[in-house]
Amino acid sequence: MRLSRYFMPVLRETPAEAQIVSHRYMLRAGMIKQAAAGIYSWLPLGYKVLRNIEKIVHEEQQRAGHIPMLMPTMQSADLWKESGRYDAYGPEMLRIKDRQDRDMLYGPTNEEMITDIFRSHVGSYKDLPMTLYQIQWKFRDEMRPRFGVMRGREFLMKDGYNFDLTKEDALHAYNRHLVSYLRSYERMGLQAIPMRADSGPIGGDDTHEFLVLADTGESEVFYDSAITELKFGDRAIDYDSVDQCQAVLEEFTQRYARTDETHDAALFDQIPEERQRVARGIEVGQIFYFGTKYSESMGATVADETGAKVPVHMGSHGIGVSRLLGAIIEASHDDKGIIWPEGVTPFHCGIVNLKQGDAEADAACQALYDALAALGLEPLYDDREERAGAKFATMDLIGLPWRITVGPRGLKNGVVELTSRRTGESEELPPEAAVEKVAAIYGVIKG
C-alpha cells in the first residue's frame, strides 16, 4: 500500500475524550471512529488489525478441532424465554420489536441459539464430542461504555460452545480451550494469565478468565509472580490427548492467580511475600464449564450407549476480539505511539522515502516494495511529499515493527536503514539484505 492512496486519517491533536493510551492512539492513528457511544466504525488500519486477530483465533480454534460457523446478530426472544434468560438478563440486552410486534434482540451471547441448533440436528452420543464456534458481533447495552473498543456496546467476540456426553469429556474440552487460548494470545504478542474467576449465579468453579496485566485494566487481580515466567511457546500438543491438555491446565493454574471476585486473602498470604502481586488486568477471554444448565432447560439430549436420552454437558468460551486491539496497545506502546507485535501488525514494514521525487530514491523504494510484495509481505510505503520528521512521526504513531528508510545519501553508499520500532536500533545494509532480514523476521523463505 502507498500511503498517498490509503485512507488513514491521522489526528495531530490528542482527542480530549480518550482517557487511556490505547483509545488515544487508536483515534490518533485513524483506526476507528466513534459512531455512537460504544459503537465504532473500523477504519482501514483498525480493520486490518482486527482481521489479523481474527485470523489467529480462527487458526488456533481449528487447530484444536473446533468447527467454525456463523449465527445471526439478531435473535428472536422465544429461545431466551425458553431458557429463562429473557427476563433474567436485564437492561444490558438490547430489545427490539419488529414490524409484526415480535420480540427480537441483538444477541449479547449465543448459548440459546447454539443449543437450539444442536438439539435440532444431533441425537446420538456418536456425534460427540463437538465444539462449534463463531466470531460475530455482540451487543450489550453497557452502563458505562468507555475506553474505546475496550468496553464497547457493539463488540466482536469469538464464542465457542462444546457439547459432550460426560462431565469428563466436557472438562477435556475446557482444557483444549485453555491451551488454544494460551497459544492465541502468545501469537498476538501478549501474555494473558488464566485466573480463577467467579462463575456467577450458575455456580461451580470451572471457569477461568484470561487477563492481560495493565494499569488501566478494569479488574483487580492477585497473583503469584512466578506465573509470569510461564510460556506456552511453540511446544507440540496433541489436542486429543486428555493427559497432555490436563497437564497444561495444571501447569498454568497451579499458582495463585485470581480476580477480586474470587480472591482469598488467606491463600494469598501463603505465597512468599516477595512473589505476592496485586495489580490490574484486562479480561481478554473466559472459559466456562456449566454442565447441563442449557441442555436441561432446552431439551438438548442425545441417546447414550444404552439408548437412554441424556442432557449434554456444555461449556462456553469467549475471546474479546475487538477488545484485544486495546489490550495489545496497552501492553505495547511508548510515548510516540503504538508498537505492534509482528503477529498482528497491520503492515509488515514501513518504507520511508526521505526525498520523494528524487529519481534514484523513488526507484529504490519501488524496488524494495516490489521485492517485499513478491515474498507475500505487505509494506506500507510513505510516498507523500512530506518532510522526513513528519513521516517518521506517522510511522512511530501507527507502530509498524520495522521501518526501512531510503535516502539519496545512503543510496550513494549502496545502503538503506532498517529500524526496529521496539528498540529504536537501526542498521545500515544493502536493500536486498534489508528485504532478506524482514523476510526472515516474518518467517518467509525467499525464492
Ligand X SMILES: Nc1ncnc2c1ncn2[C@@H]1O[C@H](COP(=O)(O)OP(=O)(O)OP(=O)(O)O)[C@@H](O)[C@H]1O
Residues in the chain: 447
Neighbours of 128 (CB within 10 A): 20
> If we measure between CA atoms, which residue out of 165, 161, 160, 159 comes closest to residue 129?
165
Give 194's strand partners: 210
* Span interacting with ligand X, options 56-64, 315-323, 359-367, 389-397, rule CB under 6 A: 315-323
Please report where in the chains the cell 471476585 appears, as a residue.
Answer: 261
Torsion angles phi and psi, residue 396, rounded to 5: -65, -40
Of 134 and 286, the one with the shorter C-beta distance to ligand X is: 286
250, burial (CB in 10 Å: exposed 0-12, middle 13-18, buried 19+):
exposed
Among 22, 134, 184, 286, binds ligand X (CB under 6 A): 286
Number of residues that bind Mg ion (CB under 5 A): 1
- CA–CA gap between residue 181 and residue 184 (Å, rounded): 5
323 binds ligand X (CB under 6 A): yes
Binding positions for ligand X, 375-394, rule CB under 6 A: none
Rg (CA), the chain: 24
320 binds ligand X (CB under 6 A): yes
> If we measure between CA atoms, which residue out of 317, 294, 300 comes closest to residue 85?
294
286 binds Mg ion (CB under 5 A): yes
* Span interacting with ligand X, options 126-134, 151-159, 300-308, 398-406, rule CB under 6 A: 151-159
Of 198 and 358, the one with the shorter C-beta distance to Mg ion is: 198
Of 156 and 165, the one with the shorter C-beta distance to ligand X is: 156
169 binds ligand X (CB under 6 A): no
Number of residues that bind ligand X (CB under 6 A): 15
Among 46, 129, 148, 285, binds ligand X (CB under 6 A): 285
Which amino acid, residue 96? I
At closest approach, how far in Å is the CB of 194 from Mg ion?
Answer: 12
Among 48, 140, 277, 391, binds ligand X (CB under 6 A): 140
Among 59, 141, 142, 362, binds ligand X (CB under 6 A): 142
The full DSSP string for 263-310 is --HHHHTTS-GGGEEEEEEEEEEEEEEEETHHHHHHT-EEE-TTS-EE
- CA–CA gap between residue 16 and residue 39 (Å, rounded): 18
Of 29 and 287, the one with the shorter C-beta distance to Mg ion is: 287
Neighbours of 425 (CB within 10 A): 8
At closest approach, how far in Å is the CB of 202 from ligand X?
Answer: 12
Choose from Mg ion, ligand X, none: what does 169 bind? Cβ within 5-8 Å by kind: none
* Span interacting with ligand X, options 293-301, 318-326, 347-355, 435-443, rule CB under 6 A: 318-326
- CA–CA gap between residue 95 and residue 105 (Å, rounded): 4
Among 24, 28, 119, 151, binds ligand X (CB under 6 A): 151
The residue at minimum Cβ distance from ligand X is: 320
207 binds Mg ion (CB under 5 A): no
283 binds ligand X (CB under 6 A): yes
First vs last C-alpha separation in the chain: 22
Cell digits of residue 385: 511529499
Summarize as ranges the residues that interact with Mg ion (CB under 5 A). Answer: 286
Summarize as ranges the residues that interact with ligand X (CB under 6 A). Answer: 109, 140, 142, 151-152, 155, 157, 283-286, 318, 320, 322-323
